[in-house]
Amino acid sequence: MKAAWPVRSFLAPAFRVCLISVVTLCGACPLATPASHSAHVNSLVTQKFSCYAGLDHNECLQNIAKLRAELLRYSAEIPRHWSWVIVGSEDWQSLVLKLHVDRRSPAFTAVKARESFLEGALFLPKPARTDELVRSFGVPADQLLTIAVSHELGHAICDGNDETIAKRVSDQLRSGGKIDCTNSLTTFDELYLRSRFPGLRSR
């Protein structure tokens, strides 16, 4: 991937206003799965899945099924009581503009609120938007959803907004490697940066 998924944090009241019209669906809906997968399915019980009201109901259900399938890959790592909101591409731009999130990003996470938001184009290709995402992030269209979900999981698992850490954890999740949420900067590096940029906060 040529660039990390641009994600920014924002104040809880701001997105609460934007999410007044959300269609909430059961996070523990029963699925017909083999017994060997039952433990993984049960790990999704504490997850909440929602769709922005403008999204077609059937499309919402299909997208949630795809999202659940993605999360099952990493079920052992999923933080409990996390919410996932899918927003149709038609509403995505207005949402990210209101929240001052990079408009190029098809996903972002509000860590303190324990919520991640995903654009509909990740699930169902939209010619112009999908082409834009492929160009921006340098990955095939069929990998956009996997990379977006694993990256937002990076923020969720490490409970932080650090893009470098989220990118590293995303790679570790997809490769099956050991999860490492530690700051890659040495103490000396961080002290140096803080001396040069007094406003820099420790991670």
* pLDDT average, residue stretch 4-15: 38
Q: Is residue 172 part of a domain?
A: yes
Residue 138 within any structural domain of the chain: yes
Q: 132 in a domain, yes or no?
A: yes
Q: Which of 40, 2, 179, 11 is nearest to 111 (CA)?
A: 11
53 band by pLDDT with thresholds 50, 70 and 90: confident
Q: What is the pLDDT of residue 190?
A: 56
Is 110 domain-assigned? yes
Q: Is residue 50 part of a domain?
A: yes
- Whether 177 is in a domain gets the answer yes
Kindly state whether residue 166 falls inside one of the protein's structural domains: yes
Q: Residue 21 contacts by C-beta under 8 Å, 6 or more apart in sequence?
A: 52, 53, 54
For residue 17, pLDDT beyond 70: no
**Is 5 part of any domain?**
no
State the total domains in the chain.
Answer: 1
Mean pLDDT along residues 75-97 = 91
pTM metric for this prediction: 0.74
User: Higher pLDDT residue, 47 or 14?
Assistant: 47
Confidence band, pLDDT 50/70/90 cuts, at residue 18: very low
Mean pLDDT, residues 167-191: 81
Residue range 112-137: mean pLDDT, rounded: 94
Rounded percentage of the chain residues whose pLDDT exceeds 90 = 57
186 lies in which domain range?
A: 12-196
